[in-house]
Structure 1
């Protein structure tokens, strides 16, 4: 024991730890001798609960293919570790371990290692970085095969580039007392179209553009003195600004919608640069960025319908770009949201023209499901609702009369634009999805306190709600109410888990895909309903348990990581699996639309390349392990 612990002191990440750490290890660990050819554990075994440190000998790390062929994927020698994956992740072994000769190993209990890593984070970081994330590697190999043609490369810029990468910096500034003649001279000499006006400590007060000089000075009546006119007299005060981590497409859409040509880049009150129309045009990607601006300015439903059809162009660029497919969903969702918002505004305006004014009450138009999570691809249907403030009863007839007309017009308009009606009738035309705040509280209480299967299904759609238009405070209050109800009715989360657990990933014991026998889906499987939905659902349950307001699945995972509910390895594996499911879904939807068919998440797994098939199997395995882990967790919290 002493010799083994002495060797441990000299290797990373233990080489700089204090003596009491090794006293703890020596007290609770044990040394074991293994004969040559001994299987210490296989990739299918339950975790032994030990971290293995080799103080003498050699160990082979072995894995088995779906066809039962054994492969040696790595070798570990004196001073190396093995068996750490189940200790620093929620998964089991990713491979087995077999001794190549006589091996002496120090077996350190899991609880001791976790206690040490809690006190010394460098230990956890060391092993977390070393975890064998097979799904991540497989996914990276698959996307490497995507080739982006030169034209698509040009069009990809607004999605690849952030504002910080294209902005002009440093920025020319002036004091409020600077004269217009001085400012005009600087613009001419430096060939710039704007100057920012700042106070003595660099705080942004306003902006002066060439247009300001023309309209506010030169176009005035004769007699204006350029020496006497100051920056503060002609500047546009409190100009619009954008953050440096915004994407180029967001900047372009913002500038188009507000009719501006210069947009300061500000972070925490500090001016970092400025983005101009000239900066945007340098990347020549007008077709894509203008799509967002066109949606915001659309005057008819026909315009919105055409824009919705053009989303496939954006999707193709994003797909070929080899970027994060989780970001791809956010970008597509951003455009979907703008289209839906504009549709709402056009219908509301039509109602006003016909003499129907929106009731004078606070409201929030909700979007739910994938829309609320910002995880929309090319074929989302409608999942929407409406929350009103608790207005007086005497207004009830007015509100209901308006909504009886408006809701049907809105749903029909969205369908016309390209968003099919929800098969489950989760829409504002259904009274179940419209109501005053207090009515929503009663409704949600019923779902949580009496978790019948139908209510549980409703809640999985509803709990991802966000306000697309209207008063966000109504939504925040309702979400806090939901968290309170969930805490008081823990059984509800278990019921959610049980409904989810009735469906499993479509992977057989021998590693073959299980496909559908339904006539229209024969030989296919759904990468959404049989894969990504399990990750989304389980993450939602953890988010409800820990009162996390975020609705996006990746953001929820990050919050759970911050709270210590998940570790970084779990998050990375789930993220890689979710990305690969999304990649396959988007690729499949694009191919179907280009063939003149509707988008679908059903595909023939055997039509995929060998690499894609292997990555899909691994994504299913990651999902299956996570689903099992979540079920055990939520069974424990209710004492089962």
Structure 2
């Protein structure tokens, strides 16, 4: 037996996806594997290089994967022994989008894709590994927990990068060339040329029974295996691989890989007993690669004006609309949308700095409210605060003046993108909400130690925030202040508890929706204030009182509370699900009417949807009882 192949097989069998192969299969693969000695700082492939015919596994040493954005090299991942990388040739035809460079002397195994592909097609576990890895690139894929995990060739290194591929819309040929089973190959070839088509679907009663492609014409006709006068039945691939109309980029890529084909037939219901709606080619997937949210992030980073940022925001709206239509879980959509909105906010601040010059002190820009909770899908208003480090007294005025100007410019850019300023003035350009760290600590101390004394000044959204730009230590100090003040602070929770219960109930005594009685939204249901905000307020109240740091999102707060407070798990889980259902109603309303979706016309809902909406309001009563039970709501009642 080949001892080199044996050594390689013994190494690979410890790591997925190779651990899913039999030892004999591993030996067969290992016989074709090339061994590369990559010296420290040497490059295996770099951005824009043509794709290799192999993918790679680190046998020893450490290898860095990086990409360049705005002339700056960014490290995406470190690969250790057992890590798989360079898989781009499996999933796309365009060039590498990152650089692989040895951080120290490395031994790399090069696995020919042609040799490995059959094992992917035949072994469900191997395919599942690729599927899972492709769908969930970890934030830190080189920690011990994830050793041996695949490192995807993505330029957008975040937990969301794989999810993106799962609901990214895919443009494909909606008017495919369709021919009958008795058509002559020569005539079909001419039609394909005239239609600039790389394929033709063979149909019977408009159901697909086969497909011929450019490749079939080259391999079966051009080499003389079949004459040009043959019928297409002789050379077609059958059965044809079919997919539903809402197939995602990742699903399409993995089906091509699994079945080793270059085209997929789109049908009404995804089966071959259904009407043909289109055809997806490998080329369509290459185009999709350049259109995903990872690329949107790159576009944002390169934007030089509000107009360019607005164009990206419009693409995000399309993405949200497509995702909801495809019933993608709302929490996934929030994740992607949150990342892109944060990138837009960050770029607006960067453009303001480019305009004004370098800041005179370190600072943190915090998005608050729905943006801070990553719950903004519609073009609702922007809320923000700015915290700058403490400076000498004689410099304070000039420093604050700079940051007010900075905030004014950034907010103006965001307004042009479509995010109007908060109607209550909760923005960083307001003198009240742009101040030094010490002043902010005093502000939070006052709010929490003497709540209600100036109740018109306190807004609970100041307790939902996430840093968009600047110093993380400043944000950490604000968080420490809040949670230190929260300890045994019954007065504060009394205030917050009453605030959470102060909203008018969504249903009246007769279980009918409490509709608006006057104004422009007369006879509509205020889904934001009567249904969603009580859940948001309740989740925040419990999260602060139970010391859940770093979790701002309402859905995730409830999910974590279900673990932290097991006695009331059912209530929290029901509230989490209700929040998503209600948010979806609001988002659909907003997308339909190009509005913030706050007011729902109940009459326009189907009977089933009215019931669904009503059912989503049920957990609010349990939440209300839980708040009353846990906090002595006396002083502010």
Question: What aligned pairs does 1:514-529 form with structure 2 within 5 A after superposition?
Answer: 514-529=514-529
Q: Which residue of 2 aligns with 1:591?
A: 592
Q: Which residue of 2 aligns with 1:199?
A: 61
User: How far does residue 425 in structure 1 lie from its aligned partner after superposition?
Assistant: 0.4
User: How far does residue 534 in structure 1 lie from its aligned partner after superposition?
Assistant: 0.4
Structure 1 Cα separation of the partners of residues 403 and 50 of structure 2: 57
Structure 2 Cα separation of the partners of residues 215 and 485 of structure 1: 48
Which of 593, 612, 617 is the equivalent residue of 2:614?
617
Structure 2 Cα separation of the partners of residues 459 and 621 of structure 1: 26
Q: Which residue of 1 aligns with 2:574?
A: 573
User: How far does residue 401 in structure 1 lie from its aligned partner after superposition?
Assistant: 2.9
Contact persistence 2:516–2:522 (CA under 8 A)? yes
SS at match of 1:520: coil
Contact persistence 2:306–2:417 (CA under 8 A)? yes
Over 3 Å counting, the alpha-carbon distance change for 1:382 and 1:453 in structure 2 is farther
SS at match of 2:149: strand
User: How far does residue 439 in structure 1 lie from its aligned partner after superposition?
Assistant: 0.8
The answer for unaligned runs of 5 or more in structure 1 is 1-163, 218-228, 236-242, 255-262
Over 3 Å counting, the alpha-carbon distance change for 1:505 and 1:232 in structure 2 is same
Structure 2 Cα separation of the partners of residues 248 and 208 of structure 1: 12
User: How far does residue 453 in structure 1 lie from its aligned partner after superposition?
Assistant: 7.5
Over 3 Å counting, the alpha-carbon distance change for 1:566 and 1:478 in structure 2 is farther
Which of 148, 153, 156 is the equivalent residue of 1:271?
148
User: How far does residue 301 in structure 1 lie from its aligned partner after superposition?
Assistant: 1.5
Q: Judge which range, 560-569 or 621-630, deviates more.
A: 560-569
Q: Which residue of 2 aligns with 1:342?
A: 347
Q: Which residue of 2 aligns with 1:391?
A: 391
Q: Which residue of 1 aligns with 2:467?
A: 467
Structure 1 Cα separation of the partners of residues 494 and 315 of structure 2: 42
The answer for unaligned runs of 5 or more in structure 2 is 1-15, 63-78, 90-94, 109-128, 156-161, 166-248, 254-284
Structure 2 Cα separation of the partners of residues 215 and 442 of structure 1: 48
Deviation by residue 1:93-135 (Cα, 9 ceiling, x = unmatched): xxxxxxxxxxxxxxxxxxxxxxxxxxxxxxxxxxxxxxxxxxx
Which of 269, 283, 292 is the equivalent residue of 2:297?
292
Structure 2 Cα separation of the partners of residues 343 and 629 of structure 1: 42
SS at match of 2:387: strand
**TM-score, length-scaled by structure 1:** 0.59
**TM-score, length-scaled by structure 2:** 0.60
Structure 2 Cα separation of the partners of residues 376 and 417 of structure 1: 15
Structure 1 Cα separation of the partners of residues 41 and 455 of structure 2: 66
Q: Which residue of 2 aligns with 1:630?
A: 627
Contact persistence 1:266–1:273 (CA under 8 A)? no
Q: Which residue of 2 aligns with 1:603?
A: 600
User: How far does residue 604 in structure 1 lie from its aligned partner after superposition?
Assistant: 1.1
User: How far does residue 638 in structure 1 lie from its aligned partner after superposition?
Assistant: 8.5
Over 3 Å counting, the alpha-carbon distance change for 1:249 and 1:474 in structure 2 is farther
SS at match of 2:380: coil
Structure 2 Cα separation of the partners of residues 215 and 491 of structure 1: 56
Over 3 Å counting, the alpha-carbon distance change for 1:458 and 1:181 in structure 2 is closer
Work out which structure has the larger RCO, using CA pairs closer than 8 Å and 6 or more positions apart in sequence. Answer: 1
SS at match of 1:466: strand
Structure 1 Cα separation of the partners of residues 443 and 516 of structure 2: 36
Contact persistence 2:558–2:572 (CA under 8 A)? yes
SS at match of 1:519: coil
